[in-house]
């Protein structure tokens, strides 16, 4: 056997070995990709199942079993923005099987177009509802937590029908002469609170679009008053306007005074 033949044979063997390694590596990579895809599918399925398992009427059924007839949910929107009011809504909905509104959830989880449709249905079917707001001056004067509690109280007490019990989103008590139950993350767990969150969100978003027409330089229609880069850059350039919360913007402008613009009137709850 010649040296040349041995060398060629060795080269072929090495080539076959390399091809085998490449094929094995390719198969391993494919298996890993498939495993990753399966893992993602399983995780998605688990999240979907978990979401389906949430019974948003569990709290309501519990109270109905105890004899309650009218159950109000109350929630707020707009605690975090740098501008605009905090808005609260209270609503009493019929809870008969044929009267339920499908799709009610935490307003943050619902698409904007769907929120508008649901808000219209909620207002149409509600036994009673009330939307209130605490403006930026009130927030600066008594702080955001107290302003939120006051706003919620006003919404509940403004209902045309007195509820037997009030579901409050969060872990703080309201100064109302009615039985109340706190539900943390209630907008995602309670049908009644979820409906209130949608009413409040749709109302506040519409209000901020109106303010955008008066103060177009800030972009309120886009960010709704939240502290986005677009908003903070505008504050740095133009200063504060009449609806900015001074206690929320001190870090941006120190003790800056607001501009000379005049505030517009907020729309009434019956407008939406």
CA distance to 29, 38, 48, 54, 158, per residue, from 41 (Å): 18, 5, 10, 20, 47
- Cα 74 to Cα 88: distance, rounded to the nearest angstrom: 7
Residue 107 confidence (pLDDT):
85
Question: Is residue 131 in a domain?
Answer: yes
> Which residues contact residue 123 at a Cβ distance below 8 angstroms, ignoring those fewer than 6 apart?
129, 199, 272
More confident residue, 28 or 181: 181
Question: Is residue 28 in a domain?
Answer: no
The tens digit of pLDDT for each residue in 85-139 reads 999 999 999 999 899 999 988 788 888 888 999 999 999 999 999 999 999 999 9
Residue 54 confidence (pLDDT):
77
Question: Is residue 18 in a domain?
Answer: no
Residue 84 backbone class (left: φ over 0; alpha: ψ -120 to 50; beta: rest): left
Work out how many domains the chain is built from and give that number: 1
The tens digit of pLDDT for each residue in 236-251 reads 999 999 999 999 999 8
Residue 148 confidence (pLDDT):
98
State the residue range of the domain holding 227: 58-271
Is 75 annotated among the ligand-binding residues? yes
Question: Is residue 68 in a domain?
Answer: yes
What's the CATH number where 145 sits?
3.30.420.10
Tokens 């309201």: give the residue: 174
The tens digit of pLDDT for each residue in 19-75 reads 766 766 667 667 777 777 766 766 665 555 555 567 999 999 999 999 999 999 999
- Cα 115 to Cα 157: distance, rounded to the nearest angstrom: 25
pLDDT at 269 over 60: no
* Mean per-residue pLDDT over the chain, rounded: 86
Instruction: Output the pTM of the full model.
Output: 0.75
Is 76 annotated among the ligand-binding residues? yes
């Amino acid at each position: 056997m010649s040296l040349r033949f041995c060398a060629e044979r060795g080269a072929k063997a090495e080539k076959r070995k390399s091809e085998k390694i490449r094929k094995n590596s390719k198969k391993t990579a494919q298996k890993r990709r498939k495993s990753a895809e399966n893992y993602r599918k399983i995780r998605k399925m688990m999240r979907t199942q978990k979401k389906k398992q949430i019974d948003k009427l569990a709290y309501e059924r519990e109270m109905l079993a105890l004899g309650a007839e009218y159950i109000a949910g109350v929630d707020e929107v707009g605690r975090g923005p740098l501008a605009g009011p905090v808005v609260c809504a209270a609503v009493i909905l019929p809870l008969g099987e044929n009267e339920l509104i499908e799709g009610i959830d935490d307003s943050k989880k619902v698409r904007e177009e769907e929120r508008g449709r649901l808000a219209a249905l909620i207002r149409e079917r509600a036994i009673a509802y009330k939307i209130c707001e605490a403006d930026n001056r009130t927030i600066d004067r008594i702080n955001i937590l107290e302003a939120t509690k006051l706003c919620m109280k006003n919404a509940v007490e403004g209902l045309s029908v007195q509820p037997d019990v009030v579901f409050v989103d969060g872990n703080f008590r309201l100064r109302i002469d009615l039985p109340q139950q706190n539900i943390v993350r209630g907008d995602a767990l309670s049908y009644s609170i979820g409906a209130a969150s949608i009413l409040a969100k749709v109302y506040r978003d519409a209000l901020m679009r109106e303010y955008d027409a008066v103060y177009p330089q800030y972009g309120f229609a886009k960010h709704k008053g939240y502290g986005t880069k677009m908003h903070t850059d505008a504050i740095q350039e133009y200063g504060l306007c009449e609806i900015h919360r001074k206690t929320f913007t001190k870090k941006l402008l120190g003790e800056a005074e607001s501009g000379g613009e005049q505030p517009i009137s907020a729309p009434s709850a019956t407008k939406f």
